[in-house]
Structure 1
C-alpha cells in the first residue's frame, strides 16, 4: 500500500511538474469513499447509548470477580472487592444528596481508597474534584470555594492539611463512617438508585489549571 501511494505521488508530479505538493491526491477512490462517506455518514453512536464507566466496571466485576483490579504496594483489590466497596460508598453518597452534576471533593492520598472513592462518586453519578493536600492552603481553600463541592472525602492522614472548610467532610477511615458503610448494600448501582438518570454528557470530574498565568480555572 505504501509503494502504491508513493507511485501515485510520482505519477502526479510527472504529469504536472508545476503542481503544488499539497495538492497531490494520495487517496484511492475506495479510501476517499471511506473517508467522505462511510466514516462521515452522520450515523455516529448516540451519546445515550455509550457505555458508562461505572457499568463497565460492574460488568468486569461480574465476569472476573477474582481478578486483580488495584495494586498499591503490598495491598491489592480484586474486581469483586472494588465493586462491593465502591457500591457501598456510592450508596452512602447518594443518601447524602450526591447525584449527576454534583461535585465531591477527593482529598485522599494515593491508595486503594482513592480508587474506591473516585469510582464511588462516578457510580453515584457525581463528579469528583481531586485535591492534592501538598498544595498551599490558599489554593485548596480557593478550589473548595470556587467548585462548591457538596461533600469532601478524606482520611485521618491528611484531614488536618485541609484547613478550615465549610464543606461537609467524610473521613473514610473513621470507625463511625465504616459502620455506616457496612449498613449499605454491595449490589450494583443503577439509575433506579440515583436521584436522576446518569448520561455520558454529565460531568465526571473537575481539574484545576495551575494558575500560573492568573487565577486557576476549573475544567
Structure 2
C-alpha cells in the first residue's frame, strides 16, 4: 500500500485492452474483494481464477489475498477435465471469471464438474470498495 500512495498514478499493470495505475489496480481489487465477501468467501476459502490473462486477473489475485482467501489459477485454454481436476484438488468452492465477452465453455464445464459456483468479476463494477470484513 505504501507503493500505491507514492506512485498512485503510475502504470501498475497492462494488457492489450487497458492499463491500470496503482490506484486503479487497488480500487478494482477492493471492489472484487467486496464481491467475494458478498459471495461468502472467507479467510482460508480457495477461489479459482479463470479467464484470459489480463489486468483484471492481477486485481482478482490481490482481492483474494485481501479477504484472506487462497487462489488457484484456471487457464481458459485448458480442457474441462483439467479445470475440474485443478479446482477439485485445490478444494475450490468458487471460480471467479474475468471474461466480459463470455466465459470459455471448458471453464464453465470444469467448474460445474468440480462443484464450484461461477461468478463474473464484472459483477463487482458497481460495488463500493471493500474496507475490511463486512460480515
Larger gyration radius, structure 1 or structure 2: 1
* Residue 83 of structure 2 is aligned to residue 140 of structure 1: yes
Q: TM-score normalised to the size of structure 1?
A: 0.53
Q: TM-score normalised to the size of structure 2?
A: 0.82
CA positional deviation for 1:150? 2.2
- Runs of 5+ in structure 2 lacking a partner? none
CA positional deviation for 1:147? 2.0
* Number of the residue aligned with 1:214: none
* Residue 14 of structure 2 is aligned to residue 89 of structure 1: no
* Number of the residue aligned with 2:103: 158
CA positional deviation for 1:105? 0.3
Which among 131, 138, 151 is matched to residue 74 of structure 2?
Answer: 131
Q: For residues 73-119 of structure 1, what are the alpha-carbon distances to aligned partners after superposition, in whole Å with 9 as ceiling and x for unaligned? A: 35211011001110011112122222221100011211111111111
- Off by >4 Å, runs of 4+ in structure 1: none
Q: Residue 183 and residue 132 in structure 1: after superposition, are their counterparts in 2 closer, same or farther (change >3 A)?
A: closer
Q: Find the residue that maps to 2:60 and give its secondary structure.
A: helix
C-alpha distance in structure 2 between counterparts of 1:86 and 1:108, whole Å: 16
- Runs of 5+ in structure 1 lacking a partner? 1-57, 196-219
Q: Which has the higher contact order (CA 8 A, sep 6+)?
A: 2
Higher share in strand: 2
* Residue 134 of structure 2 is aligned to residue 185 of structure 1: no
Q: Residue 185 and residue 135 in structure 1: after superposition, are their counterparts in 2 closer, same or farther (change >3 A)?
A: closer
CA RMSD of aligned residues (A): 2.1
Tell whether the 8 Å contact from 1:105 to 1:149 is kept in structure 2 after alignment. yes
Pairs aligned (count): 129
